[in-house]
């Protein structure tokens, strides 16, 4: 069963509104926790009494973090394959595969990604906010390079694009028409076209620590895996969206559609107070507050080409079976 964008958005709208309301409640709690963590005044201070707030929570959190980071970045995990055979050779091969898989995961996480910092961020969120979220996805990170192509016919260009998976686009060029030297049939092509190629920088699993302020979900589900609606609401730039489209994560046309509606992409108001408190505790102004004069609009205050994106993960019953 196919479903268009308007119908899909109509199905998601109710869950999105519920998730916004729940996020607003969670944000108020996190703001309070962060103020306690930074030893901000509680608001019940009395004149003539000490105004000092002892940083007990800050001290405990920072004391616990190094030990927990060491636990989760150490040699703590192993892959134990289930082997029904009692053949020693098969058991040895399975153990060897498990050891190679473990080395692969550690190499990807700690050599090609900043695994230790990711673990520390996750633990910090858990200690301060009482929960943290790790998001694991497949990532294709690449640079784009251009290559000038020789004079080629349309069929030759099509065969080149089909045979070379690194080519993501063929642009430019001046169209020409010439007779085929063998058949004499007129054929068209491009002269001076450029092939855009992907040069892979990283390919594999990607671990991302999602700030609690960016995680939207329905209330009443302690297990996130069983929650029927979860969304990562995050600020992305158009370059990121184009790359995700080229990688096949976002469907074709996403970047163009977002670009045409960039002025209508509004920020999330549910976490605005929390966002200001995170900076205010350090005596700083929130980045969005700069340039807030009467002549400065929302688009000017955010980064050029940045939009708020809802990456929704949901389960929908789209047919009569209800599955």
What is the model's pLDDT at position 61?
A: 95
Tell me which residue of 125, 123, 128 sits closest to 33, measured CA to CA: 128
Cα–Cα distance measured from residue 249 to residue 252, given in angstroms and rounded to the nearest whole number:
9
Cα–Cα distance measured from residue 144 to residue 79, given in angstroms and rounded to the nearest whole number:
37
Digitized pLDDT (tens) for each residue of the chain, 323 residues in all = 677 778 888 889 999 999 999 999 999 999 999 999 998 888 888 888 888 888 999 999 999 999 999 988 887 677 777 777 788 888 888 888 888 988 998 999 999 999 999 999 999 999 999 899 999 988 888 888 889 999 888 888 999 988 988 888 888 889 988 888 878 788 898 899 999 888 888 888 999 999 999 999 999 998 888 999 999 998 888 888 888 887 778 888 888 888 877 765 555 678 888 878 887 877 777 776 665 555 555 554 455 678 888 899 988 776 655 55
Cα–Cα distance measured from residue 229 to residue 248, given in angstroms and rounded to the nearest whole number:
22
Residues in the chain: 323
**223 and 210 in contact (C-beta within 8 Å)?**
no
Helix/strand/coil (H/E/C) assignment for every residue in 188-256: EEEECCEEEEEEEEEEEEEEEEECHHHEEECCCCCCHHHCCEEEEEEEEEHHHHHHHHHCCCCCCCHHH
Cα–Cα distance measured from residue 85 to residue 50, given in angstroms and rounded to the nearest whole number:
71
Cα–Cα distance measured from residue 29 to residue 47, given in angstroms and rounded to the nearest whole number:
27
Q: Supply φ then ψ for residue 127, to 5 degrees.
A: -75, -40
User: What's the gap between Cα 206 and its chain centre?
Assistant: 9
Q: Angle between the 115-129 and 56-73 helix axes, to the nearest 10 degrees? A: 140
**81 and 97 in contact (C-beta within 8 Å)?**
yes
What is the model's pLDDT at position 64?
A: 95
Burial label, 56 (beta-carbon count in 10 A; 0-12, 13-18, 19+): exposed
User: What pTM, to 2 d.p., does this model score?
Assistant: 0.77
Place of tokens 């940083």: 55
149: its two tokens? 């192509």
DSSP string, 132-152: -EEEEEEEEEEEEEEEEPPSE
DSSP string, 264-300: G-PPPSTTHHHHHHHHHTTT---GGGTT-STT--HHH
Cα–Cα distance measured from residue 244 to residue 256, given in angstroms and rounded to the nearest whole number:
13
């Amino acid at each position: 069963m196919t479903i268009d964008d308007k119908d899909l958005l109509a199905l998601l709208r109710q869950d999105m509104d519920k998730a916004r309301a729940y996020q607003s409640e969670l944000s108020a709690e996190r703001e309070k926790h962060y103020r306690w963590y930074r030893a901000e005044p509680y608001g019940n201070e009395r004149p003539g009494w000490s105004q000092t707030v002892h940083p007990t929570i800050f001290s405990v959190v920072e004391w616990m973090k190094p030990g927990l980071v060491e636990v989760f970045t150490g040699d703590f995990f192993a892959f134990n394959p289930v082997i029904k055979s009692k053949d020693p050779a098969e058991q040895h091969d399975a153990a060897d595969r498990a050891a190679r898989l473990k080395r692969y995961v550690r190499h990807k996480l700690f050599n090609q990604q900043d695994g230790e910092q990711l673990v520390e961020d996750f633990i910090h969120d858990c200690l301060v906010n009482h929960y943290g979220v790790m998001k694991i996805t497949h990532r294709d990170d690449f640079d784009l390079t251009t290559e000038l192509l020789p004079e080629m016919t349309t069929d030759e260009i099509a065969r080149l694009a089909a045979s070379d998976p690194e080519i993501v686009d063929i642009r430019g060029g001046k169209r020409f028409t010439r007779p085929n030297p063998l058949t004499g049939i007129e054929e068209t092509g491009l002269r001076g076209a450029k092939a855009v190629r992907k040069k892979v920088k990283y390919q594999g699993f990607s671990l991302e620590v999602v700030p609690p302020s960016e995680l939207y979900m329905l209330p009443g589900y302690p297990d996130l895996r069983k929650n029927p609606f979860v969304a990562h609401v995050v600020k992305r730039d158009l370059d990121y969206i184009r790359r995700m489209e080229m990688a096949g994560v976002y469907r074709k046309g996403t970047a163009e559609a977002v670009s045409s509606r960039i002025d209508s992409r509004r920020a999330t108001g549910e976490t605005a107070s929390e966002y200001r408190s995170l900076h205010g505790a350090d005596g700083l102004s929130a980045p969005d507050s700069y340039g807030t004069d009467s002549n400065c609009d929302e688009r000017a205050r955010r980064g050029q080409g940045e939009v708020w994106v809802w990456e929704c993960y949901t389960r929908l019953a789209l047919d009569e079976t209800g599955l």
